Structure 1
Amino acid sequence: MKDIPNSGTYVMMLSGGLDSALLSYLVLKELPNTKLVLSSVCHQSLNYYNLFNVIAITNWLHARFPNRIEEHYIGYYKDRNEARNNRTKTRDRLINKHQASGILTGMTLNPSELMTEGRDESRDKKREIRVISSHGVYHYRPFINSTKQTVAELYNEHNLQDLANLTISCESESLPRPCKECWWCKEKYWAFGYY
């Protein structure tokens, strides 16, 4: 958190997963002069996919940090490709609307033990924590060079099991979830010891 200025408004993607939920909490707790604009992408016909999770996480954050979340935008898309194609447009719009001073992403580094099929290969190597975005503002990724084990340690250190219970890591589009088979379920189990 030391690289993120303690002032201004930040646009952050809230996926409903462990990383973005934790980063939202840490920013609100450790940077008291900041505000967040949360942006979530939800599947328009699969309400169980992450919609309930992002709403529950946002409500949990609101209860602990009143008046610090300026907006929680939820975009509904028919599939992942449509969501990816609209992510930058949505982020641009929110940055302009809220005159945001930066972007936050709670992405982690892939663990060497899980270099298997199904992972996001862009997370295989270390990268810069702070970069200039195409919007001309800084994009902060404080977990980018840490694995999910660091995230698990931070959940324990801050006694955030109740927040962890609101998240979903599973990428399966069918029930039951967690599927315990997708790469994301395996990563969570590797770091947390449960699905």
Structure 2
Amino acid sequence: MIIHDTERSSRIVAEATRVIELTRQIDAVIENARTLISDRHAATIELCRLSEADLGGTSPSLEPAAIDAAIAIIAEAGKNGIAAKSLSAEVTKATGIEVPSVVLESSLRPYLLAGDVSLRADLYRPGQGRINRRQGKTSPDVPTDREMALQVLRESPIPLGVAAIISAAERRFGERIPRTTLSPLLAKLRDIGGLVIHADGKWMAEKH
């Protein structure tokens, strides 16, 4: 009986320690997300100032979850595209956030300017983001999107969302992976051999 109680006590301590550590990691991710949202807001304003884009006097107002959902839906639509009204409806359905077409277009303006997505004849399509970072580069040291994504995930102690992968790649390599390129790339890496794992909206890779 004493051994059983000791075992149980040890397990209680172990699980309590695990809960504390997971809570610490969650807090760190939340704080990082807040910082990234603030940085993206500032970068969006600067981008629009430099490109003299007219956002009607307002900055993008959709929540990050709605923007991420919109970009993922556009990527899935592929070259056939998706109508603006249909995109708004799909984003609302996926996130529960009411998304008027006008607000959606304003919120996606930085991604339109960056070429991540395109909008023609009221149809949203993926932009012409380069699949391979070496395209148009003279240096063989420039990594591909695949190499950057895998290295970022392997170096991360926690699973990462798409936005976090892009930010980490920019900090690590000084290269930006377009969202419309990254989402299909991650799905391919998952399907062709389990190089990455997708769970609870986050991505992870085996550590080498």
Higher strand share: 1
Compute the TM-score of the two structures, normalised by the length of structure 2: 0.27
- Relative contact order (C-alpha < 8 Å, sep 6+): which is higher? 1
With the length of structure 1 as denominator, give the TM-score of the two structures. 0.28
Higher-helix-fraction structure: 2
Over alpha carbons, which structure has the higher Rg? 2
